[in-house]
Each structure stands twice: as C-alpha cells, then as structure tokens.
Amino acid sequence: MKTLLTIAAVALLAGAPAAFAANSTAVAPAMAASKVDTPTFVKTVPSSNEFEIQSSKLAEEKSKAADVKKFAKQMVKDHTKAGKEFKAALSQGQTTGSTEAAGPALQPKEQAMLDELKSASGKDFDAKYIQMQTDAHKEAVALFSSYANSGDDPAMKEFAKKTLPTLQMHEKHVKELAAAHQG
C-alpha cells in the first residue's frame, strides 16, 4: 500500500501541470517521509534522468534566454554523469533488475511532457521548461532523500546520498531561474 501511494505521489508530481505546482509542496514532504522501495527507485530514476537530459538538450536548442541555456547545459552535464553513476550502482547493488531498468526509455508521463515542450516556442517554451524542471527537481529531491534515508540496497542508497546534493543545487538554481523569468 505504501509503495502504491509513493508511486501515485511520484506520478502526480512528475506530471503536474503548472496550475497544480503550487499545491505540490504539500505532497513532496509526505513523499519524503514515506519509504521508497528499491524496485520503485530503480524504475523511476532512469526515466526521470533521461527526461532531464532530453528536455535540457531541447532547451539548449530552442531557448533564446542565455540563463536558461546555461542551466540546460549544466543539466545535461550533471544528469549524464548521474546516469552513468546509476548504472554503476545498479551493477554493484543487490537489485536483480533487468538491464532494461537502467535504459534511457522515457515513461509515458515524461514522454508526454517532452512532447509538450517540443511543441512550445519562445517565452512559452522557457516558462514550460522552467516549470517542468521545478516540478521534476522537487520530485527528485523527495525521491532521493527518501531512498537515501530508508533504501535497502546499499549501492543504490549510496548513489542516492551522493546524488542528492546535486539535485538540491539544481532545485535551488531552477527556483532562481523561475524568479528571474516571472512577469
């Protein structure tokens, strides 16, 4: 039951439209307090990470704002590194998941968000990208924080602990980016 609630919270946060974003702060602390099981963590991380990379590559191409492009470039660099570290942790860990779990395929919610970004342009693109990055990093920080505290696979738990500060830095930077682009 707890796993189902966690999955539902992750899905809500990842797919939340901009109008829902103000209410998502109430969900994130609840998710951080609950335990995330290893199969959920192993299934969620690759898709979320790949969304960060693909959406940020798109932002590097489509955004006209220098600060958005700079942020996007950093996301591609950091999330590419995190993807490699995730695969290494998966191979060292106790998790006996398929190698498909570490693959770059997007889950339907991430694919839908990426498709939405592809169709946007100009300031609308920047606003959507910033909002999606805000939501995605709020979700990621909650997920990684929870798994770092209560995960049962030592290699994955260490990966979560090591990656969490970078995700928290991204969350802080995207909030600053959002503030700079309001109005």
Domain coordinates of the chain in residue numbers? 2-180
Sign of the CA dihedral 140, 143, 147, 148?
positive
pLDDT band at 30 (very low <50, low <70, confident <90, very high): very low
Query: Is the domain 2-180 a CATH 3.20.20.10 member?
Result: no
- pLDDT at 104 (0 to 100): 60
Q: What is the DSSP letter of 100?
A: G
Q: Check whether 97 has a pLDDT greater than 80.
A: no
Distance separating alpha carbons of residues 103 and 106, to the nearest angstrom:
9
Q: Alpha carbon of 12 to those of 27, 63, 111, 134: distances in Å? A: 9, 27, 15, 14
Residue 77: φ, ψ to 5°: -60, -50
For the residues 19-47, what does the mean pLDDT come to?
63
Distance separating alpha carbons of residues 93 and 160, to the nearest angstrom:
12
**What's the predicted TM-score (pTM) here?**
0.78
Q: Alpha carbon of 142 to those of 41, 46, 118: distances in Å? A: 11, 16, 27
Q: Check whether 27 has a pLDDT greater than 80.
A: no
Q: Which residue has the tokens 């809500």?
A: 12
Neighbours of 92 (CB within 10 A): 14
- Residue closest to 59 by CA, chosen among 50, 47, 72, 49: 72
For the residues 17-27, what does the mean pLDDT come to?
34
Q: Convert the pLDDT of each residue in 112-163 to its tens digit.
A: 999 999 999 999 999 999 999 999 999 999 999 999 999 999 999 999 999 9
Whether residue 13 contacts residue 109, with contact meaning beta carbons closer than 8 Å, is answered with no
- pLDDT at 108 (0 to 100): 93
Whether residue 64 contacts residue 122, with contact meaning beta carbons closer than 8 Å, is answered with yes
Give me 42's structure tokens: 């192993």
Which residues, including other chains, have CB under 8 Å from residue 130's CB and lie 6 or more apart? 68, 174, 177, 178, 181
Which residues, including other chains, have CB under 8 Å from residue 137's CB and lie 6 or more apart? 167, 170, 171, 174
